A and B are shown apart, each in its own frame.
Chain A
């Protein structure tokens, strides 16, 4: 089945540790996104990529990094510089930008311990 796969579903991070969230899609979509969701908050854009080997910062990129080496994959690294990383992270993709429908993965929960 076509879709977006995020892993792991649950992840625990120790203080000062970097962690990487995986996102893979087999929809042949060009654009991919990472959003963060906190309780009572809307989704906030971390990074997006419109094409392989190119990505742009979103509204809350500080403390995060991404790569886009393959069309299917858009991993997100939460670095130790991110002071409040506990949140629900959502990866998404679309056929392009400019108002195209975006489709989401099932999300990854990150907790700092």
Chain B
């Protein structure tokens, strides 16, 4: 069964304290790994898509990387406005929809 596992479930950081979120997946024949940000009570907002091992993408303080079995979302010098739940997802085996992990809830305090 296709699975996406995110860790940790929750992460508390001080402003400026860099860290990484992990997303591991078991689907074979990866056709993209997707990262989203979700604020409370809102729909997920698309951040990045990675398609091949070794690929990296950056946006402001976020950088996503991909290996053959997992992806990392690195957060450099986070600010309180980076507080949100970060979701990763991969296409299901049939390629008809995305399978989501349960997310990592990030809290950044000043």
Contacts and interface: CB of A to CB of B under 8 A. Distances in A.
Nearest to B31: A99
The listed residue with most A CB atoms (<10 A of its CB), out of B41, B87, B98, B102, is: B98
Contacts, number: 60
Interface in A1-18: 4, 6
A26 to B, nearest CB: 16
B20 to A, nearest CB: 20
B43 A90 contact: yes
A105 B34 contact: no
A56 interface: yes
Interface of B: 4, 31-32, 34, 36, 41-46, 49, 87, 89, 91, 95-103
Pick the most buried of A44, A99, A101, A106: most chain B CB atoms within 10 A of its CB.
Answer: A99
Nearest to B89: A43
Nearest to A4: B43
Given A35-B100, A42-B87, A44-B100, 4 more contacts: A4-B43, A33-B97, A48-B97, A97-B95
Contacts of A90: 43-44
Given A41-B102, A42-B87, A42-B101, A101 B46 contact: yes
Contacts of A4: 43
Contacts of A42: 4, 87, 100-103
Nearest to B103: A42
B42 A45 contact: no
